Structure 1
C-alpha cells in the first residue's frame, strides 16, 4: 500500500517546495496584487456578459398573410386647428380601407405644443369631421343641394359637401345656419394660431397602403378616396409638424423607429409633405419573458415636400402623407444567453491565463534582479 502511494506521488504535477526554500519578494507581491485586481475586473466583465442577452438575427421569406397590423402614432400639426384636420387610411389602390379599428384622439394645442383642451376621440374615414349636439330629429336644409342620398345637412361640412357634389361654389359660410351655429368663420381665424395633436392607434389590414392628416373633407367616389379642400376657400395652411412616435406594431427592446422625434418646419405655405416607408416584418423572441414571440415591424423612411394649388407651385394637397410598403421578407430576432458552461470555461481561462502571465513576469523580474545584484557584488 505504501509502495503504491509513493508510486502515485510521481504523477503530482504540482510539486510543493519546502517552506524554508520559498522566497517572497516585494516585486512578487506587487505582481500578485495587480494580477488579482485584473482577475477581478475580467471576472466582473465576464459575469455581466453572462447575465446579458444577445440578439441573433436571420432573414427568411415572410409567409404570413391576411393578418392585421397596428399603427401607433403621436403627431402634432403645429398651425392647423383640430376642427379642420382629418385622418384617413387607404390601401395601395387608393380605396379606403374597410373594417379599420381605431382609438385615435385629437387634442387642441398652442403653437408651442401646450394642450388647450381635453382629448376628443376622432372617427377615421368618416365623412363628418365636425359634429354638434342637437335634436336627434333635426334635419338641416341643404339649400337646394339636397339629393336622393342626402336629404339633410346637419353640419356646416355637410352643406359644403352637398355643394361640392352639385359642383356649386360654397361662398360665404356666414350665410348658412349650420355654419353660424358652429362659428365656422371664427374657427377659420384660428388657423395659424392653434395646432392639433393626433395620437392613438389604428388596426389596419396587413397590406401596403397609407394614411394622411390633412385639412378639408373626404368622400368616396367610384370606390376611390377623394379629399377636397374647396370648402376652405383660399386659406393658406402651414403644415409644419412633429412626430413624437410612429411605429407599426408593438415595440421590442432596443427597437429604433426612424421617424420618432422628427420635427419638420415648412417655410412655404400649403405644402404637401410625403413620407415613404419601407416596412420589414420582424419576429422577436424573448428568452427573458418565457420565450414569448412578438410579431412587429421595423421601417426605414424617406421624405420630400412639394407645392399644392393653394401655394401656386404644384398639384398636391396640403397635409402630411404617409405611404408604406411591406417587404416580402421576415427578420427573426432571437434573444440568446451564454450557457453556464461557457461562463465557467471563460472564468477558468481568465484565472489561469492571468496567473500564468503573472508567474512568467515575476520570474523575469526576479531573475533580472538576481543578475543585477550579482554584477553589483562583483564590481
Structure 2
C-alpha cells in the first residue's frame, strides 16, 4: 500500500506497451529534436567557456602604491650621450639619468646610422651631477668635472658618427601628476663652465624623430591596449624641426582573470601636440610625456558565469527542446492521420 501511495505522486505515467505505437514520422521528429538539443547544448557549452568580459567604473577610494612606468623608445637621430631624461612631478621631485636617480631602471643602447645596435653592452651615462643635501631641507648640485668632460667627449664622438639611441626600461615614480622630459638640455651644465670647454663644442641636436615600441603604466593583461605602442614621428631632412608633447590620462585598472587572480595596472588615453622649432631658435628640441592620474578606477572581470547558472541554462535548453519536439510530434501525427483518412 505504501508503494502504491508513493507511485501516485509520479508525474510521468507509463502506458502499457500494447497501448503505444511507434511511427516513421515520429522517428524523424525525434531525430530532428535530438540534433537540435545537441546543437544547443554545444552552443551553451561554448558560451560558458568563452571570454565573458564585464567592465565597470567607480570612484577610486583606495590609497595605491607608486606608479610603475615602462618605456621602450628609439631615437634615430639622437646619440645616447646626447639624450637626456628627466622626471619631474608636482610634489617637487626631480630625477635625471645623470644624477644617481633611484627607481630609474632605464638602459641606453647605441644605434648606428642604419638603426642597428652597436655592441651588446648598454651605454652608461657619465654621472656628472649629484645633489648633496645640506641637512636643513635644502641642497646643492655637485658637478663632477672629469665625468662632465668625459660626457662631452662622448657627445662629440657619437654625434660625428650620426648615431641613434634606444631607451628601454622602467621607472618607479610618485603617484602624482608629473612629466617625463626627453631632451638634450643637460648641455646647460657645460654652458656654466666655458673655461673648461677648451677645443670642445656642444652638439646641437634638433631632430627628435622617435619610434615608440612601448609606453605603459604597470603590467599587461589580455586584451589591454596601449595607444602609444607602435607610434612614431619622423622628421625628414630639410623639414622644420618640432618639439613633441603627449598628454596622458592614466586610469587605474583592476583585472580579474578567469581563475579570479587580480592584476593591478593602468590604462590610459593620450592627446598629441607638437610645436615647430626654427633652426635659429634658442629653444631645445624635446619629447615631453605629461601624465596625470584619473580619480576613476576601471574593473575588468573575465570570470565566467557560475556553474549553477550553466546547469540552469542546460535544463532550460534540453527541457524546451523535448517539449517542442513532443508538441511537434502531436501535430505531425494529427496531420498524417487526416491525410491518410
**TM above 0.5:** yes
Aligned CA distance change for structure 1 residues 343 and 79 (closer, same or farther; 3 Å): same
CA offset digits 1:100-139 (Å, max 9, x no partner): 4122112233566543332415569x657xxxxxxxxxxx
**Residue in structure 1 matched with residue 34 of structure 2 by the alignment:** 36
Question: Any stretches of 5+ residues in structure 2 without a counterpart?
Answer: 130-140, 190-200
Paired with 1:309 and 1:94, the residues of 2 have a C-alpha distance of 31
Shift of 1:216: 4.8
Alignment equivalent of 1:189, drawn from 157, 160, 165? 160
Pairing 1:1-379 to 2, within 5 Å after superposition: 1=1, 5-6=3-4, 9-51=7-49, 54-65=52-63, 67-92=65-90, 96-97=94-95, 100-109=102-111, 113-120=115-122, 122=124, 127=128, 152-156=145-149, 179=153, 182=154, 185-191=156-162, 194-217=163-186, 231-233=202-204, 235-237=205-207, 239-267=208-236, 268-286=239-257, 288=259, 291-310=260-279, 317-374=284-341
Paired with 1:244 and 1:110, the residues of 2 have a C-alpha distance of 18
Shift of 1:93: 7.2
Aligned CA distance change for structure 1 residues 127 and 11 (closer, same or farther; 3 Å): same
Paired with 1:350 and 1:294, the residues of 2 have a C-alpha distance of 36
Shift of 1:6: 4.7
Shift of 1:350: 1.0
Shift of 1:198: 1.2
Shift of 1:72: 0.8
Kindly indicate whether the alpha-carbon contact (under 8 Å) linking 1:213 and 1:320 is maintained by their aligned counterparts in 2: yes
Shift of 1:307: 1.0
Q: Secondary structure at the match of 1:210?
A: strand
Q: Secondary structure at the match of 1:254?
A: coil
Aligned CA distance change for structure 1 residues 330 and 259 (closer, same or farther; 3 Å): same
Kindly indicate whether the alpha-carbon contact (under 8 Å) linking 2:128 and 2:144 is maintained by their aligned counterparts in 1: no
Kindly indicate whether the alpha-carbon contact (under 8 Å) linking 1:269 and 1:311 is maintained by their aligned counterparts in 2: no
Kindly indicate whether the alpha-carbon contact (under 8 Å) linking 1:92 and 1:209 is maintained by their aligned counterparts in 2: yes
Paired with 1:196 and 1:16, the residues of 2 have a C-alpha distance of 84
Question: Any stretches of 5+ residues in structure 1 without a counterpart?
Answer: 129-147, 160-178, 221-229, 375-379
Q: Secondary structure at the match of 1:344?
A: helix
Under a length normalisation based on structure 1, what TM-score does the superposition of the two structures give? 0.70
**Residue in structure 2 matched with residue 173 of structure 1 by the alignment:** none
Paired with 1:122 and 1:30, the residues of 2 have a C-alpha distance of 79
Shift of 1:294: 3.1
Kindly indicate whether the alpha-carbon contact (under 8 Å) linking 1:258 and 1:301 is maintained by their aligned counterparts in 2: yes
Kindly indicate whether the alpha-carbon contact (under 8 Å) linking 1:283 and 1:293 is maintained by their aligned counterparts in 2: yes
Paired with 1:81 and 1:202, the residues of 2 have a C-alpha distance of 21
Kindly indicate whether the alpha-carbon contact (under 8 Å) linking 1:74 and 1:244 is maintained by their aligned counterparts in 2: yes
**Residue in structure 1 matched with residue 192 of structure 2 by the alignment:** none
Shift of 1:11: 4.3
CA RMSD of aligned residues (A): 3.4
Kindly indicate whether the alpha-carbon contact (under 8 Å) linking 1:127 and 1:219 is maintained by their aligned counterparts in 2: no
Aligned CA distance change for structure 1 residues 349 and 123 (closer, same or farther; 3 Å): farther
Kindly indicate whether the alpha-carbon contact (under 8 Å) linking 2:212 and 2:228 is maintained by their aligned counterparts in 1: yes
